[in-house]
Amino acid sequence: MQADPAPCVAAAAANDDDKTIGVCGALIDHEKAVRADRVKALIARGAAYDRKDMIDRAIADYDTALGLDPTLADVFNARGELWRKKGDRPKALRDFGAAIKLYPEHPAARGNYKSLAQDLERLGALLAVHNKPSFKCAAVRRPVEKAICADPDLANLDREINAANARVVNAASRDSLRAGRVLRREQDEFIARRDASFGRPGYDLRRAMKERLDHLLAIGSH
């Protein structure tokens, strides 16, 4: 006797996740379930697992559904969103791309692909400067700059200070050129003190840089 898909359909329509997992699971496992019904049951159970934050099980159901029918753009998009939740951006991007290839005007997949591609571009830009200061280490001569280049934490601090200073100077200059000049001079004075003090007894370069960054961030928050 052919398996009856009605209980699975009804449970999914009622958004009863626990019942959907149970009755759709029975349909999936039924030896006489037709393939189309099994695919729909897998999709319904996968969505229920997703809503219950059981991501690995949801992905497994979508894997099986796509194995039975690889033309399901919505399922590729849904699985891509789950890969993104798990932090696997390359797999997410592939799934969004597969959904768009099947259905070029798929609105959710197009939006997901665009936003994830932008995230990856920003991540690549961040990785390109990670552990690098705001200046080129190959040309440095000052001992303090060599120390910054040799320490990833100090290098990141230097880059953050430079970026924070640029933000506060630009913001101040929009209101008053004089205020912008004052802030630029303050940064120049910090660098001059840093260069002159480095290597002297009692001078803590890391602490001085953290204090400078905290000061700039405080200005920027006002």
In the chain the domains, ranked by start, together with CATH numbers, are: 6-128 (1.25.40.10), 137-221 (no CATH)
Structure tokens that stand for 214 in this block: 């905290």
CA 194, 200, 205, 211 torsion-angle sign: negative
Reported confidence tier of residue 125, pLDDT bands at 50, 70, 90 = low
The Cα 81–Cα 95 span in angstroms is 9
Cβ burial of 194 (10 Å; 0-12, 13-18, 19+) is buried
pLDDT per residue over 147-156, tens digit each?
A: 999 999 999 8
- Reported as a single tens digit per residue, the pLDDT across 178-219 is 988 999 999 999 999 999 999 999 999 999 999 999 999 998
